[in-house]
Chains A and B, each alone.
Chain A
């Protein structure tokens, strides 16, 4: 079951990039996403140019902004996705609480999970400790994506969250 067993530090995990920008861009465009609101990290940032060719990219300064811009886009009839790193999720608390829970705006997000695969760069990175518990605390239904074979899992979750009119996230191992 997703979201129950949290990540634990394991130096045996290998560093890899799970998806290309083209794969993510196609997924988003095919799913009818109109805007991606983003603050990059070193993994998801590499997807920007590919996404920008298919979907309107909105660059914001800090991740809390992204949830509220997405909320406004949704109210205006668009279909946004927030794309940030887990550190930005930590920063986002009040903004996502208000958008997702006070106003029940069903924003879908793609969140980079720092240090899940590559633990050599930042040994003992506390992102592994806090990311999944925080997603649970904010009641965001997420899928942990660790393999290139899971592209369909992102698509299916995005579409099922949209169908259910609820927020959701794809947590992409980095």
Chain B
């Protein structure tokens, strides 16, 4: 797929596929990775699924962080990495406060911030610079800090993310990582990779091992 510059071209952005390749490359074998919407679509395109992948398709609006919190609480020895879009996170901002309250130190939230609802045709989110009177995008890192995340990281270029990803993921959490990514032109909603009941059972078995 081709990519386009965002509504705020001055901001440096990482190609979405490249940001996910970095995550895939640095992922440890015992880490759970939850993907939603655009990140799910591109994640599936990168190769065979890992037993601890949860491709959250179909999903409820913005609830990747919530299901990730549940898995993290049930499996405190495993790091759980949730890949959320900025539009999704805006739908469930309260989950950031819930994550901190629950002391989910093994949970990492990565927001792939492209400023738009990509799969519905790239309409700007309410948090995007293009939507706001002062032209400044909502500060997700600031929101995360205000909710109590101590470990907060932001990356706007592929090289920095490549070099800093593992260190950021390894910080004591809950951890929040903001990635400025490019919207994918023509990016559509992801297709379900298979029957949910089967995938849920497979994930439960993999988590028990």
Interface residues of A (CB under 8 A from B): 34-35, 37, 56, 58-62, 64-65, 67-78, 80, 94-95, 97-99, 102-105
B121 beta carbon closer than 8 Å to chain A: no
Q: Which 4 A-B pairs have the closest CB atoms?
A: A72-B70, A76-B74, A61-B94, A68-B66
Q: Contact between B73 and A94 (Cβ–Cβ < 8 Å)? A: no
Q: Contact between A95 and B63 (Cβ–Cβ < 8 Å)? A: yes
Interface residues of B (CB under 8 A from A): 54, 58-61, 63, 66-75, 92, 94-95, 97-98, 101-102, 196-197, 200, 203-204, 207-208
Closest Cβ of chain A to B190, distance in Å, is 14
Q: Contact between B196 and A72 (Cβ–Cβ < 8 Å)? A: no
User: Which residues of B are found within 8 Å of A60, using beta-carbon distances?
Assistant: 66, 94-95, 98
Q: Contact between B203 and A75 (Cβ–Cβ < 8 Å)? A: yes
Q: Which of A58, A68, A75, A78 has a CB less than 8 Å from the CB of B63?
A: A68
Bound-complex Cα distance A132 to B174 (A): 38
Q: Contact between B98 and A73 (Cβ–Cβ < 8 Å)? A: no
Q: Contact between B207 and A77 (Cβ–Cβ < 8 Å)? A: yes
Between A and B, 8 residue pairs with Cβ closer than 8 Å are A59-B101, A72-B69, A72-B71, A80-B70, A94-B61, A95-B60, A102-B58, A102-B196
Q: Which has the most chain A C-beta neighbours within 10 Å: B73, B97, B200, B208?
A: B73
Q: Which of A58, A94, A98 has a CB less than 8 Å from the CB of B102?
A: A58
**Count of CB-CB pairs between chains A and B under 8 Å:** 109
Bound-complex Cα distance A121 to B207 (A): 47
Q: Contact between B66 and A104 (Cβ–Cβ < 8 Å)? A: no
Given A77-B74, A99-B60: A72 and B68 interface contact (C-beta under 8 Å): yes
Bound-complex Cα distance A62 to B62 (A): 12
Q: Which has the most chain A C-beta neighbours within 10 Å: B63, B94, B208?
A: B63
Closest Cβ of chain B to A55, distance in Å, is 12
Given A35-B73, A80-B70: A62 and B94 interface contact (C-beta under 8 Å): yes
Q: Contact between A105 and B200 (Cβ–Cβ < 8 Å)? A: yes
- Which chain A residue has the least Cβ–Cβ distance from B97? A61
User: Which residues of B are found within 8 Å of A73, using beta-carbon distances?
Assistant: 70-71, 73-74
- Which chain B residue has the least Cβ–Cβ distance from A70? B70
Q: Contact between A69 and B58 (Cβ–Cβ < 8 Å)? A: no
Q: Which has the most chain A C-beta neighbours within 10 Å: B61, B63, B70, B197?
A: B70
Q: Contact between A68 and B60 (Cβ–Cβ < 8 Å)? A: yes
Q: Contact between B72 and A65 (Cβ–Cβ < 8 Å)? A: no
- Which chain B residue has the least Cβ–Cβ distance from A73? B70
User: Which residues of B are found within 8 Å of A59, using beta-carbon distances?
Assistant: 98, 101-102
User: Which residues of A are found within 8 Å of B61, using beta-carbon distances?
Assistant: 94-95
- Which chain A residue has the least Cβ–Cβ distance from B192? A102
Given A69-B70, A72-B69, A104-B200: A77 and B98 interface contact (C-beta under 8 Å): no
Q: Which has the most chain B C-beta neighbours within 10 Å: A64, A76, A95?
A: A76
Q: Contact between B98 and A61 (Cβ–Cβ < 8 Å)? A: yes
Q: Contact between B73 and A71 (Cβ–Cβ < 8 Å)? A: no
Closest Cβ of chain B to A167, distance in Å, is 14
Bound-complex Cα distance A77 to B207 (A): 8
